[in-house]
Chains A and B, each alone.
Chain A
Amino acid sequence: MVFASKMPSLRIDQSDLKCKNGCNFFGNPQWQGYCSKCHREQLQRQRWAEKGLTATLPKPVQKKMERSLKLSSHSSFSKFEEKRLRQSETLKNKTNLLKFSVFSKSKSSEIQDQTPERKPPEFKVPATVYEMMKKDWAENFSNLPVQVDRECRVFVHRFIWDVINSSYVMNVDELSERVQRYYQQFIKYTDNSPHLVSAEPELKERLIDFVEKHAMTYLHDLPGVVFSPHGTEDERLDRAMSERIQQLSWVGEKHLECKLDHSNECSQLLYKAISELLAMDGAPFGGGKLAHVRRACLHVLELCGAPASADDLLPKLIFTVLKANPPRLVSNINFVTRFCNAQRLMTGEAGYYFTNLCCAVSFIENLTAESLSMDKKEFDCYMAMPASIGGSTWAAALSLCGAVKEAEEQRQHAEKLMEEIKKLQDDAEQLANNAETFEKEIAKKVQDVLAKTPLEIKPRRELPRLRVLRNSTGPLIDLETSKTVPEEDKQKIPQINIPDKPQDKIDLQFETLNTRTENILSFDMDKSPPKSPQNQPWESKQTGSFELLTPSPISFPLFDSRSIDERMDELMTPEEFGPDNLSLGLSNINYDIDLSDLSGDNSYAEDTPKEPKDPFSPDGIKKEPLFDPFAPQTSNYAILEKFDEFTLVDTKNKDASDSFEVVHRTNDFQTNAERSDPFGPVQAEATSILDENNSPSGACLLPSPLLPQSSKKT
């Protein structure tokens, strides 16, 4: 524009023909007064700016960065570096744009050109400012009258409007004065407002801060108004400062005569102070920046140890600033000194620390060999050195610090996880304990029930049925039964009862099953000796039946256990789980036992009495659902173990007992082969038996023993 406007003038200065970028080539109006190369570069930059920067303007990005820094503190030193780089990039960009922009030509034209362009015809403070204010108000001043809230907002609006307008016509110092006057005005208001008569001075201060915060938060983000305003050299000074600090990276603690130990704690504190200093740039208003400075200084004070005086604070703060190299340091300091409430700045703690920071910065600016009390030649030598070489051990220590912090966070996270795992483990243990106690309780109950029930059952069964059966059966059997039954029955009956009335006790816990198996064993053992004497006479008469009888007591537990196990496995569904399956498995036992009694008649006789005892079954049915969950698994294992042992023992026993009879062995082997080798068929047989047994629960018991016998015979 300037170029175009100057075209018509008669005398064209050669400098006006040259590239605006100042690179001695000639420019062209088609290229906006740049040479071709600069024009292309500028176009590229603009495109880049449109892509990258308009979407995320430098300020919000930084703010977000800061926020993430503060909140998650996931930051590492490398991030600082990154941010610094980005910042300097944006700065360069800005200054480049400024250089290219029309206003940089002359100061007088700047104001005239600027005003129409930058000043929107009707300025409106965005609603977000008021929304933020309302929100903040509700959080902090909800107890104050509404009028104050409204007046505050009106004041902020007037404040912002006026500052923006005056920024076009005033230089920075005038603007700063104007802003200060606004602050004073508001302080007066808080003193005189009828709504705030009774308010405490502290509340008034907060109110003043509130107004300052919201007005400045908005103004801060407007480019060139209050933060590094146009017409000042703040940006250039920022870069100069940043470069200088980089150049001085070789300055260590010994130069500044501040004692710092390289302990982990020390570097942690330094790290914190640095992060606070870096965060200062992100705070959008003076109070926030001051708060960051204050916190940074407090960290530094902590670094000094207990007796921190100004003599300790200042050198260490200088050192911290040197290591931090905060972005836009000069701009920030100027912003605070110009537009922060002066009353707060002059007095008070934050003001003191801010002054210290200013001192540190001015010390760095004017740093000479003398101020470091070192030889001038040495100093020059250091300064001539490229900045990248001069890094002290602190740079490494601090970057480590970032890693340490991250590692600590990770560790904390891991600890949390460990705690969770522990909790889970505890819960699991508790659950296991509960289950155990539950098991035990139930086992106790079951035992109690067992202890009670046999007493009741015995008399009922034996008396009527046995007599009837005895009458019906032959004399030989009578003798045997009379010998064996009284002994065995006492033991058996509970067992027999259990299988016969599976509904009652089958679902009882494995312990009870164990006891049963033990009983069965003992029962077998008891039986085997009586059998052998019994068998001898029987052999001649009833070989076939005897074959069937002998194996059953010994080998049947094996078969039975497996059948039970397998059934358990197969029939894991709760419905099937119930009494029927178990009853079947156990019913097999029954009938074996019956067989072992040597007389099918007797066994029937024993079985039959159990049928009518069905009246007990309902009780059992009621108990079943309770016992189901635990019984199957535990019983399985227990039975398996026990039966394996038993089978071994049994086979030995068999061998011992078989010595009497040749027939036995063959049959045993056959039966064993039949039963043990192919489990499937056995199961099938069993199931077939089951099926038959299933439908008529009690009545089937009588025919059931016959069926397998017949099948085995064939």
Chain B
Amino acid sequence: MSRCDFKIVLLGSEHVGKTSLVLRFVNCRFNSGTPYQNTIGAAFCAKTMHSNGKDLNIGIWDTAGSERYEAMTRMYYRGAHAAIICYDPCCASSWARLRHWLAELRTVEEDCKVYLCGTKKDLLDTNSTREVPEDIIATYSQGLNGHYLTSSKTGENVEELFQKIVDDCVADRDLMQKVEESRVQLAKEQEKDKSYCLC
């Protein structure tokens, strides 16, 4: 499976749970014994999904969350169909960095769909205190494609999140394809003119 239909980028600061989210989604399991680091090659994951009666390959790109590589993340989400920005509701700093990506995505990749994902819901449900107020999240997620609170440990909302992304992308692609076809046709005509010029 060398080619993927959709490219989904995972953004989020370190230790927010990006890798766990991917692993939960791809392998349908979560290893709490060795949290955060458990399976091979979680950097890039591909999975086949169904949507609208079609089989689709989605490639999930994990990114390095460390701040020192922040300047490079732009390369990752170039041409991405969707981006998931992860944050930890119990960690205010992770939310602060989220805003940076949001701003950049909006300017650099206009076509990219953006989803917010609050991770570690299981922790939130049990005892940890929420540091990021819900109303702020609500205001931010208004202009975005969706917001999910997930738990990689229990698997809650993980599948739903990705299914929503794929559904959106498929719906969008069908629309885009029509536009694309007309554009290619135009380009072809231009090309013909050019080749004549060369001769």
- A: residues with CB less than 8 A from B are 162, 165-166, 169, 181, 184-185, 188, 205, 297-298, 301, 305-315, 343-344, 346-353, 355-356, 358-359, 362-363, 366, 370-371, 373
Q: How far is the CA of A311 from the CA of B63 in the complex (A)?
A: 7
Q: Which of A205, A352, A358, A362 has the largest number of chain B CB atoms within 10 A? A: A352
Q: How far is the CA of A348 from the CA of B198 in the complex (A)?
A: 36
Contact A311–B65 (Cβ < 8 Å): yes
Contact B63–A310 (Cβ < 8 Å): yes
| Binding stretch for chain A, among B40-48, B138-146, B150-158 | B40-48
Contact B75–A355 (Cβ < 8 Å): yes
Within B58-113, the residues touching A (CB, 8 Å) are 59, 61-66, 68-69, 71-72, 75-76, 78-79
B3 located at the interface, meaning its Cβ lies under 8 Å from any Cβ of chain A in the complex = yes
B37 located at the interface, meaning its Cβ lies under 8 Å from any Cβ of chain A in the complex = yes
Contact B198–A349 (Cβ < 8 Å): no
Write out the residue numbers on chain B whose beta carbons fall within 8 Å of the beta carbon of A346.
Answer: 7, 78-79
Distance of B188 from chain A, by nearest CB (Å)? 8
CB-CB under 8 A for A307 and B191, given A347-B5, A349-B46, A362-B72: no
Contact A349–B195 (Cβ < 8 Å): no
Distance of A523 from chain B, by nearest CB (Å)? 86
Identity of the chain A residue whose Cβ is nearest the Cβ of B70 in the assembled complex:
A371
Write out the residue numbers on chain A whose beta carbons fall within 8 Å of the beta carbon of B40.
Answer: 301, 306-308
Contact A308–B43 (Cβ < 8 Å): yes
Write out the residue numbers on chain B whose beta carbons fall within 8 Å of the beta carbon of A301.
Answer: 40-41, 43
Q: How far is the CA of A314 from the CA of B71 in the complex (A)?
A: 13
Q: List 11 A-B contacts (CB under 8 A).
A: A188-B184, A301-B40, A305-B37, A310-B62, A310-B64, A313-B43, A349-B59, A353-B44, A356-B43, A362-B71, A366-B71
Q: Which of A188, A310, A312, A356 has the largest number of chain B CB atoms within 10 A? A: A310
Contact B3–A348 (Cβ < 8 Å): yes
14 additional contacts (CB under 8 A) given A370-B68, A371-B68 = A181-B187, A306-B37, A306-B38, A306-B39, A309-B43, A310-B18, A310-B19, A311-B14, A348-B3, A348-B4, A349-B44, A358-B72, A362-B71, A362-B72
Distance of A152 from chain B, by nearest CB (Å)? 19
Identity of the chain A residue whose Cβ is nearest the Cβ of B199 in the assembled complex:
A165
B6 located at the interface, meaning its Cβ lies under 8 Å from any Cβ of chain A in the complex = yes
Distance of A183 from chain B, by nearest CB (Å)? 12
Q: How far is the CA of A308 from the CA of B41 in the complex (A)?
A: 5
Contact B37–A165 (Cβ < 8 Å): no
Distance of A569 from chain B, by nearest CB (Å)? 73
Contact B76–A355 (Cβ < 8 Å): yes
Identity of the chain B residue whose Cβ is nearest the Cβ of A298 in the assembled complex:
B41
Identity of the chain A residue whose Cβ is nearest the Cβ of B197 in the assembled complex:
A169
Q: How far is the CA of A373 from the CA of B2 in the complex (A)?
A: 37
Write out the residue numbers on chain A whose beta carbons fall within 8 Å of the beta carbon of B3.
Answer: 205, 343-344, 347-348
Write out the residue numbers on chain A whose beta carbons fall within 8 Å of the beta carbon of B36.
Answer: 307
Identity of the chain B residue whose Cβ is nearest the Cβ of A300 in the assembled complex:
B43
Instruction: Please classify the interface of chain A as helix (H, G, I), strand (E, B), loop, or mixed, using the class held by over half of its residues.
Output: helix
Contact B2–A205 (Cβ < 8 Å): yes
Question: Which of the residues A306, A310, A347, A371 comes within 8 Å of B59, measured between beta carbons?
Answer: A347
CB-CB under 8 A for A359 and B43, given A310-B64, A344-B2, A348-B2: no
Identity of the chain B residue whose Cβ is nearest the Cβ of A182 in the assembled complex:
B191
Write out the residue numbers on chain B whose beta carbons fall within 8 Å of the beta carbon of A307.
Answer: 19, 34, 36-40, 42
- B: residues with CB less than 8 A from A are 1-7, 14, 18-19, 34, 36-44, 46, 59, 61-66, 68-69, 71-72, 75-76, 78-79, 184, 187-188, 191, 195, 198
CB-CB under 8 A for A165 and B187, given A307-B34, A363-B72: no
Question: Which of the residues B2, B61, B195 comes within 8 Å of A162, measured between beta carbons?
Answer: B195
Write out the residue numbers on chain A whose beta carbons fall within 8 Å of the beta carbon of B4.
Answer: 347-348
Contact B42–A309 (Cβ < 8 Å): yes
Q: How far is the CA of A370 from the CA of B69 in the complex (A)?
A: 11
Write out the residue numbers on chain B whose beta carbons fall within 8 Å of the beta carbon of A351.
Answer: 7
Contact A362–B2 (Cβ < 8 Å): no
Q: How far is the CA of A309 from the CA of B68 in the complex (A)?
A: 16
Question: Which of the residues A166, A309, A347 comes within 8 Å of B198, measured between beta carbons?
Answer: A166
Question: Which of the residues B34, B62, B72 comes within 8 Å of A309, measured between beta carbons?
Answer: B62
Contact B75–A358 (Cβ < 8 Å): yes
Contact B68–A311 (Cβ < 8 Å): no
Write out the residue numbers on chain B whose beta carbons fall within 8 Å of the beta carbon of A370.
Answer: 68
Q: How far is the CA of A434 from the CA of B76 in the complex (A)?
A: 72
Question: Which of the residues B7, B34, B43, B68 comes within 8 Å of A310, measured between beta carbons?
Answer: B43
Question: Which of the residues B14, B79, B198 comes within 8 Å of A165, measured between beta carbons?
Answer: B198
Distance of A84 from chain B, by nearest CB (Å)? 25
8 nearest A-B pairs in the assembled complex, by CB-CB distance: A307-B37, A309-B19, A359-B72, A346-B79, A310-B62, A347-B4, A314-B64, A352-B44
Distance of B68 from chain A, by nearest CB (Å)? 5
Contact B2–A349 (Cβ < 8 Å): yes
Q: How far is the CA of A307 from the CA of B78 in the complex (A)?
A: 26
Contact B66–A311 (Cβ < 8 Å): yes
Q: How far is the CA of A356 from the CA of B63 in the complex (A)?
A: 9
Question: Which of the residues B6, B43, B198 comes within 8 Å of A352, measured between beta carbons?
Answer: B43
Q: How far is the CA of A679 from the CA of B61 in the complex (A)?
A: 96
Q: How far is the CA of A181 from the CA of B40 in the complex (A)?
A: 37
Question: Which of the residues B1, B69, B79, B184 comes within 8 Å of A184, measured between beta carbons?
Answer: B184
Identity of the chain B residue whose Cβ is nearest the Cβ of A291 in the assembled complex:
B2
Q: How far is the CA of A356 from the CA of B72 in the complex (A)?
A: 9
Q: Which of B4, B5, B68, B195 has the largest number of chain A CB atoms within 10 A? A: B68
CB-CB under 8 A for A350 and B2, given A162-B195, A309-B19, A309-B62: yes
Q: How far is the CA of A356 from the CA of B195 in the complex (A)?
A: 37
Q: How far is the CA of A353 from the CA of B44 in the complex (A)?
A: 8
Contact A308–B42 (Cβ < 8 Å): yes
Q: How far is the CA of A346 from the CA of B78 in the complex (A)?
A: 8
Q: How far is the CA of A188 from the CA of B185 in the complex (A)?
A: 11
Distance of B43 from chain A, by nearest CB (Å)? 5
Write out the residue numbers on chain A whose beta carbons fall within 8 Å of the beta carbon of B191.
Answer: 181
Write out the residue numbers on chain B whose beta carbons fall within 8 Å of the beta carbon of A362.
Answer: 71-72, 75
Q: How far is the CA of A259 from the CA of B191 in the complex (A)?
A: 52
Contact B184–A359 (Cβ < 8 Å): no
Write out the residue numbers on chain B whose beta carbons fall within 8 Å of the beta carbon of A188.
Answer: 184
Distance of A693 from chain B, by nearest CB (Å)? 89
Contact B69–A359 (Cβ < 8 Å): yes
Write out the residue numbers on chain A whose beta carbons fall within 8 Å of the beta carbon of B68.
Answer: 363, 370-371, 373
Q: How far is the CA of A282 from the CA of B160 in the complex (A)?
A: 45
Write out the residue numbers on chain B whose beta carbons fall within 8 Å of the beta carbon of A355.
Answer: 61, 75-76, 78
Distance of A596 from chain B, by nearest CB (Å)? 93
Q: Which of A307, A315, A353, A356 has the largest number of chain B CB atoms within 10 A? A: A307
Q: Which of B1, B7, B72, B191 has the largest number of chain A CB atoms within 10 A? A: B72
Write out the residue numbers on chain B whose beta carbons fall within 8 Å of the beta carbon of A306.
Answer: 37-40
Distance of A41 from chain B, by nearest CB (Å)? 40
Q: How far is the CA of A311 from the CA of B68 in the complex (A)?
A: 11
Q: Which of B2, B61, B79, B191 has the largest number of chain A CB atoms within 10 A? A: B2
Q: How far is the CA of A312 from the CA of B184 in the complex (A)?
A: 41
Q: Which of B41, B46, B79, B188 has the largest number of chain A CB atoms within 10 A? A: B41
Q: How far is the CA of A588 from the CA of B69 in the complex (A)?
A: 104
Q: How far is the CA of A169 from the CA of B198 in the complex (A)?
A: 9
Contact A311–B75 (Cβ < 8 Å): no
Write out the residue numbers on chain B whose beta carbons fall within 8 Å of the beta carbon of A366.
Answer: 71
Distance of B180 from chain A, by nearest CB (Å)? 10
Q: How far is the CA of A359 from the CA of B78 in the complex (A)?
A: 12
Distance of A114 from chain B, by nearest CB (Å)? 16
